[in-house]
Structure 1
Amino acid sequence: MCSLPNAPIVSIVDDDESVRLATASLIRSLGWCVQAYASAEAFLRSPGFVHTACVVCDIQMPGMNGLELQAHLVGSGNPLPIVFVTAFPSDAAKRRASENGARFFLHKPVDAAEFMRCLQSILGSEQTQ
């Protein structure tokens, strides 16, 4: 959990631990709080779920994939802003994600400056540090 009061929390949902750690480190360096989850199911079960301001999510994961997580959030009335990050981009996945309100669809490896612009667009340009 984040020690900064009222800071936006970015939740990372990715089954690849190295991606979670690297993304979390980058987000922290930009001044935002971060929580990381190895699966969509773990994210949905977590108490931090209710404090999430933005989700950074892989598409291809075991169990519930990123698009299914997005559909679940939309269906439950909680359409959180999502930045999809995938190593396997497809026009069909991008179209489906966009139709359900995904804010950004990035390809791995992600350019740090582009990623920062995406988060600033969603969370605002003011950093919490």
Structure 2
Amino acid sequence: MDASGRGEVDGGQQDKARPLVCVVDDDGSVRRALCTLLRSAGFDSHAWAGAQEFLHAGLAAQCRCLIADLRMPGMDGFELQQSLRRSHPGVPVVFISAHADEPARRRALAAGAVDLLGKPFSESALLHAVHRALEPGRP
């Protein structure tokens, strides 16, 4: 991850055998930690500091799962999910948030999110949500 927060491939070209998981969070330490975790679990990962940067990066079509913070400057996670559903409806979303209350959870799940994980969350909870998002036949 570079200091600007722009998306960065984990070490170079995407490996087609490894599913691409995209991360959008305005906290650089969260982006770095998630990319490290995802790589260690066998995924390729890209990360962005904001929703607009992700949408303009041109990787949504290759993204197999999006992990997004709910609250970010500019476009929030719900707006990002809506935009992504219009352009790439098959990309599953896992939300993460320090503000993961029950109304937000219900809203996220009603909009088709795989899960909403409250920060801090365990590595196993996140990886479980990503694996569920990648299950064959998932809508």
TM-score w.r.t. the length of structure 2 is: 0.82
Deviations along 1:54-112, one digit per CA (max 9) or x if unpaired, are 00000000000001111122234524211101001122221221111000110111101
Aligned residues of 1:79 and 1:101 also touching (Cα < 8 A): no
Distance 2:24 2:132 in 1: 19
Match of 1:46 among 50, 57, 62: 57
Distance 1:122 1:82 in 2: 7
Further displaced range: 101-110 or 66-75: 66-75
Match of 1:63 in 2: 74
Match of 1:7 among 6, 15, 18: 18
Match of 1:74 in 2: 85
Cα RMSD after superposing both structures: 1.7
Aligned residues of 2:64 and 2:92 also touching (Cα < 8 A): yes
TM-score w.r.t. the length of structure 1 is: 0.88
Aligned residues of 2:61 and 2:88 also touching (Cα < 8 A): no
Identity level (%): 36
Indicate the structure whose relative CO is greater, using CA pairs within 8 Å and at least 6 residues apart. Answer: 1
- Distance verdict in 2 for CA 1:121–1:17, change over 3 Å: same
What is the aligned residue count?
125
**Aligned positions of 1:1-129 closer than 5 A:** 1=9, 2-76=13-87, 78-124=89-135
Match of 1:127 in 2: none
Residue identity opposite 1:91 in structure 2: E
- Distance verdict in 2 for CA 1:42–1:9, change over 3 Å: same
